[in-house]
Structure 1
């Protein structure tokens, strides 16, 4: 009888110790809170590791998880884009809520978006694949044909290109109605982009800081894309 009591006591102690260890493990998992100046009605989110994001201040505009895929490939490239809502609202083409809705409507995404004042919006964590590059070819990387999304981080800038670059998206009369300050890129965007690119490169050693690894969408898909286009000044970000 005494022996049975000892067995029961030891078993109970073992189970309590085991639960205690598991609890400690769970409590030790940190969370990453995204700082934001404004969320424009979008709820705050806590991201648990292994989410990867910039340490720079960002505005939380996370897209639903269905807008991206799990990443299992190394990050070797950064792809630059421009985007706007000029087709629907040429007078106010840079409302981030409108552009976010467009991303959702067309099932596209990027990791970051940079506004006209240099504000950085977080759309997709870097450890997930965003749908920004689509089909194309990249010089010196033949195995990336139609697969650049898997190996890259996409950065959208709120900007509008030349009339020629936009003619597949905008009729001439709409382009002509766009206020001049909305055309091209701003100094604040260049400054934020350069800092963001440097930050991403520093955290991802497979991305070499050169024009073979930091590319425009128009270089990957020249037959169908014109962004960031001829108004984008690469020297502003060190190239």
Structure 2
């Protein structure tokens, strides 16, 4: 009788163990108090990350790390400066996980989508930005090692989230009335040639110049229309008002850094048209609800 009871107890314990330890199906996950079945994923979904936004920190390495890790602003990644030994080791800081929101873009807009913190990854790069001279701004140069490291990091992010070239942006592109980083010395064309970000075709620019000299007067209205089609938040007034000029300056720093005076000249008009023709030939400006406002 005791043997029978012992055998029954063994079978009971074994049965409980099998029930507890039995593997879950691939589409079934256990959580405290409930089960999740992922057998029917919806086809109506996309990546949260839609944009990659590049910045300079306007501070040295130590201050940049302090501001971005202990302050009220943040970024997903920080690329070290020229004097950091990490740069020679091709090492970047990850300060925020990619599935978390970092506070780097602030009040921002691109193609009607606002508050881009919620849909972007931010890369801060250690660079002092500029210093003011008696006549103009003097911009600090970029270290080629930084650019190569940014390129490797950006290429990986772009591939992971399938970010289109026109959504690789500078802070000044998405906040042109507030920000100027990463500035006119940032090598956007070099990065585009490495497959990172957008760049217009020179033959298409010549087409839209239509025989005009680059510094001939351009159409403010055409520039406003095409910059909006490409993605910039810009007034549609036909007037070279202050907001329009600031936005043109931001655009020129990205795509025509040899002259970013904010003038509505023929070359700026042609570059804007060439970008639209290449990336958004049938574009419409979309509107999305606001979300968050934190930035550096």
Instruction: Name the TM-score class by shorter chain.
Output: 0.5 to 0.7
**Does the 8 Å contact 1:112/1:121 carry over to 2?**
yes
Structure 2 distance, partners of 1:19, 1:161, is 59
1:232 correspondence with 2:200:
no
Corresponding residue of 2:103: 131
Q: Secondary structure at the match of 2:61?
A: coil
Corresponding residue of 1:121: 93
Corresponding residue of 1:102: 67
1:76 correspondence with 2:21:
no
Structure 1 distance, partners of 2:121, 2:144, is 22
Alpha-carbon offset, residue 161 of structure 1: 2.2
Where does 1:1-239 land on structure 2 (aligned, <5 Å)? Answer: 5-21=6-22, 74-85=48-59, 93-95=60-62, 98-117=63-82, 118=87, 119-138=91-110, 140=111, 142=112, 144-146=113-115, 148-163=116-131, 183-205=140-162, 207-208=163-164, 210=165, 212-238=166-192, 239=199
Structure 1 distance, partners of 2:69, 2:18, is 48
Q: Secondary structure at the match of 2:101?
A: strand
**Does the 8 Å contact 1:161/1:230 carry over to 2?**
no
Structure 1 distance, partners of 2:67, 2:6, is 68
Q: Deviations over 1:11-37 (max 9, x none)?
A: 211223345457xxxxxxxxxxxxxxx
Q: Secondary structure at the match of 1:9?
A: helix
Structure 2 distance, partners of 1:237, 1:145, is 25
Alpha-carbon offset, residue 216 of structure 1: 0.5
Structure 1 distance, partners of 2:78, 2:123, is 6
Question: Highest CA radius of gyration, 1 or 2?
Answer: 2
**Does the 8 Å contact 2:58/2:129 carry over to 1?**
no
Alpha-carbon offset, residue 160 of structure 1: 2.1
**Does the 8 Å contact 2:151/2:191 carry over to 1?**
yes
The structure in which a higher percent of residues are helix is 2
**Does the 8 Å contact 2:67/2:74 carry over to 1?**
no
Q: TM-score, structure 2 length as denominator?
A: 0.48
Q: Deviations over 1:130-174 (max 9, x none)?
A: 111111211x2x1x212x11111100010122335xxxxxxx79x
**Does the 8 Å contact 1:116/1:188 carry over to 2?**
no
Structure 1 distance, partners of 2:65, 2:73, is 10
Structure 2 distance, partners of 1:11, 1:107, is 57
Structure 2 distance, partners of 1:230, 1:214, is 16
CA RMSD of aligned residues (A): 3.1
Structure 2 distance, partners of 1:14, 1:7, is 10
Q: Deviations over 1:105-146 (max 9, x none)?
A: 4321111111234442221221221111111211x2x1x212
